[in-house]
Amino acid sequence: MDPYSESRFIGFVTMVSPLQTRVHFPSSILLKKFFNADDGYHAITGKYIVIEGTGCGFLGKITEIALPEKERLELTESKFEKDVFHPTGKVEILLCFDNYKLKAKKGLDQLPPVSAKVYLCSDTFLGSLLTQFGVKDGILPKTLPLATLPDNENHKIDVSSQALFGRHCAIVGTTGGGKSWTVAKLIEQVVAQNGKAILIDATGEYETLKSNEIEYYKFNEISQEGIYFNYKKLRETDLFALFRPSQQSQLPKLQEAMKSLRLIEIINNKNTPLDITDSLIKNEAFTTSREHGYTTLKKKDTTENFKYISACKNNTSVYSNHCTFEMTALAAQILSECVYDNGSPDNPARNNCQSLISRILLTTNDRSFLNVFDFKNELDLLCKNEFESIFENFLKGKSNVLILSVSNVSTENKLREILVNSIGRYLLEKALSEAFKAASKKSLLLFLDEAHLFLNKKVKDEYSIEVELDAFDRIAKECRKFGLFLVISTQMPRDIPRGVLSQMGTFIVHRLINQQDREAIEFACSDANKSALSFLPILSSGEAMLTGVDFPMPMILKITEPNVKPDSNTPSVF
Ligand SMILES: Nc1ncnc2c1ncn2[C@@H]1O[C@H](COP(=O)(O)OP(=O)(O)OP(=O)(O)O)[C@@H](O)[C@H]1O
Ligand SMILES: [Mg+2]
């Protein structure tokens, strides 16, 4: 493979500066279509070229072609066909490669000499350079047949899977750019490589992917395919997000109530007391009342309160942030907390908590909340699929991908955000406990489509405390070393917190028109310089710029269509 074939010669380097290289085309004919060469047009803006240096060659991209000022006025078609025009071009040098090994070098430590010859880069050579990206120390990584060259569909490009996913990956682009198809293509590759991935489907468009290797479950649906998230896996802060207590008067009562309910659970679970303190609690039997199917703890008088305090001291797990208690009792328990030390009702406190109590009652009785979190412990009769057990089986089992659809979950009161955040946090905790790391275990890829709906979200209203839903931010920052890799897809990079964006090692950037979005990407990937980004608005569906820490230069590719397409068509208007 000779990158410098005379049939593709187009011109000479005439000026070199660190920012820009200029090329002189000795004849306008060299810009014309050359059917004997393999690439159709010889030189047009956007094409890759190679420059022959001594010892090493350079790969560049034509960013501009222009006619000299004085020749412009004389331009006619027939004259242009002949020799008489002398266009010049600007070239951006992308990388240098070894002339003998024909391999890309790390970093650009030199520039081409003036008067060096410039050739059009052949697809074969370009392809061979791109496929080597991400190859470390000569060890061939697993590569994924993911894409082709944009103007040559026959020329396949394999991308190293480690370079692609190894440091979290972001897929961005305006709507219709092809993100969902790219996600489907990547999922296809996860199956082909026998990996493990979870996909959170916000719109239900991935239902078409269901197969033997790909399990599909829907939240807020009572059927074979339905799945729910047991509220006992929630954390205190999730309840704050759901019930939005006010800082001053409601939050302390809510916390107190959760503590009491946890104490009830502890007492109920201690069947055989082991030591003195345990039996003390058991025998000191708090005044509990069981009404309407749930148990609350009554604080009657001062001595009862002392018992309560000492019981809490002996059972510090009442201070945990878990929600393993009877949720239906929570509203009533808050009322029981609104008492004075002597046990008489504290009416001002009750009044203050009224709005909180009604929010709790509304939420824990609302059908969509019940179907998602199973507050009444009733769903296992109707739908056997509890998230944790499904997930554990998925990890152990043969299937490669678990798709969780949240499209039926209402966004009212941030239910959907809270749910997705809880799933994220569950996976985060799993990862931190090294569930995906050990040699015998597989890493897990976590795909989050429409990530702008879930990242950077806070729950706050006029009076309530602010709760940040930050599980995915934390996954981005903490989980790479633990074998949990994030793949986010979004049409609005500007809505993703910068901290998260800068954790992304790889970007697949589809067409991107909005200036702010382009700036967000520019901020996140320093090596994708301005001129590479300037091609983003003119990419067509399915074309994308692939850039990242493990790729020496940004490259524009056409992502191959997935075999099974997601159902993402916009319905027709009429
Ligand atoms: N790799 C591809 N090759 C050919 N056509 C593609 C490709 N990817 C996407 N398309 C076309 O673009 C359309 C939109 O793609 P897709 O649904 O993936 O966009 P999207 O970026 O996910 O949009 P949205 O932000 O609205 O979800 C597809 O219906 C398909 O016709
Ligand atoms: Mg989409």
Measured distance CA(172)–CA(149) in Å, rounded = 19
pLDDT value for 285: 55
Question: Is residue 425 included in any domain, yes or no?
Answer: no
> Is residue 350 in some structural domain?
yes
The Cα 11–Cα 250 span in angstroms is 76
Pocket lined around ligand 1, Cβ cut-off 6 Å: 173, 175-181, 491, 541-542, 559, 561, 568-569
Distance CA 372, CA 327 (A): 14
Q: Which atom of ligand 1 is the closest one to the Cα of 181?
A: 18
Q: At what angle do helices 250-269 and 236-243 cross, to 10 degrees?
A: 130
Q: Based on the fold, state whether residues 196 and 328 are members of the same structural domain.
A: no
Among 316, 351, 371, the domain-final residue is 371
Task: Report yes or no on 474 lying in a domain.
Answer: no
Cβ atoms of 455 and 412 within 8 Å: the answer is: no
pLDDT of the residue at 486 = 93
558 contacts 567 by C-beta, under 8 angstroms: no
Instruction: Identify the CATH number of the domain in which residue 406 sits.
Output: 3.40.50.300
**Smallest-distance ligand from the CA of 541:** 1
Amino acid identity, position 84: V
Closest ligand by atom to 171 CA? 1
Asked if the structure places residue 427 within a domain, the reply is: no
Q: Are residues 202 and 175 in the same domain?
A: yes
Hey, what are 270's tokens?
A: 């201690």
Inside any domain, residue 294: yes
Residues 458 and 440 in one domain: yes
570 located within any domain: no
> What is the residue with the minimal CA distance to atom 29 of ligand 1?
569
**pLDDT tens per residue across span 92-134:** 888 888 888 888 877 778 889 999 999 988 888 887 887 777 6
pLDDT, tens only, 379-395: 777 767 899 999 999 99
* Closest atom, ligand 1, to C-alpha of 184: 18
Tell me whether strands 506-509 and 543-548 are parallel, antiparallel or unpaired. Answer: antiparallel
CA distance linking residue 217 with residue 207, whole number of Å: 9
Ligand 1 atom with the smallest distance to the CA of 569 is: 29
**Do both 183 and 330 map to the same domain?**
no
* Residue ranges of the chain with per-residue pLDDT less than 50: 272, 274, 276, 280
Atom from ligand 1 closest to the CA of residue 185? 1
Same domain (yes/no): 185, 118: no
Residue 529 lies in a domain: yes
* 170 and 242 inside one domain: no
Ligand at minimal distance from the CA of 567 is 1
Range of the domain at 327: 236-371
Residue 558 Cα: closest atom of ligand 1 = 1
8 A C-beta contact, residue 43 and residue 113: no
Beta bridge partners of 297: 288
What is the C-alpha separation between 128 and 3, in angstroms, rounded? 11
Q: Are residues 50 and 177 in the same domain?
A: no
Pair (302, 450) in one structural domain: no
92, 111, 131 — which closes off a domain? 131
Nearest ligand to the CA of 492 is: 1
Question: 569: CA distance to ligand 2 center in Å?
Answer: 9
Rounded to the nearest angstrom, the distance between the alpha carbon of 511 and the centre of ligand 1 is: 11
From atom 26 of ligand 1, which residue's Cα is the shortest distance away?
A: 175
Handedness of CA 5, 8, 14, 16 (dihedral sign): negative
From the number of C-beta atoms within 10 Å of its C-beta (0-12, 13-18, 19+), residue 570 rates as exposed
Question: How high is the pLDDT of residue 187?
Answer: 95
Q: How far is the CA of 542 from the centre of ligand 1 (A)?
A: 6
The domain that contains 72 carries what CATH number? 2.40.30
**What is the residue with the minimal CA distance to atom 31 of ligand 1?**
541
In this structure, the answer to whether residues 246 and 335 fall within a common structural domain is: yes
CA of 423 to the centre of ligand 2 (A): 21
CA dist 384 and 379 (Å) reads: 7
Q: Which amino acid is at 549?
A: V
Q: Distance from CA of residue 121 to its chain's centroid?
A: 35
Alpha-carbon distance of 28 to 367, in angstroms, equals 72
- C-alpha of residue 492 to centroid of ligand 2, in Å: 12
Return the residue whose CA atom lies nearest to atom 14 of ligand 1: 176
**Mutate which of 448, 541, 570 to test ligand 1's pocket (most atoms within 8 Å of Cβ)?**
541
Measure 214 CA to ligand 1 centroid, in angstroms: 21
Q: How many domains does the chain have?
A: 3
Same domain for 121 and 179, yes or no, is no
Helix 276-283 × helix 302-314 angle, to 10°: 140
Nearest Cα residue to atom 4 of ligand 1: 542
Which residue's alpha carbon is nearest to atom 11 within ligand 1?
A: 541
Compute, in angstroms, the gap from residue 501 CA to the centroid of ligand 2: 19
Closest residue CA from atom 16 of ligand 1: 178
Closest ligand by atom to 177 CA: 1
Domain boundary among 371, 398, 424: 371
Nearest ligand for residue 570 CA: 1
Q: Are residues 301 and 222 in the same domain?
A: no
Asked if the structure places residue 564 within a domain, the reply is no
Q: Measured in angstroms, how far is the CA atom of residue 236 from the centroid of ligand 2?
A: 33
Kindly tell me the sign of the dihedral angle through the C-alpha atoms of 366, 367, 368, 369.
positive
220 & 295 share domain:
no
pLDDT of residue 267: 76
397: CA distance to ligand 2 center in Å? 29
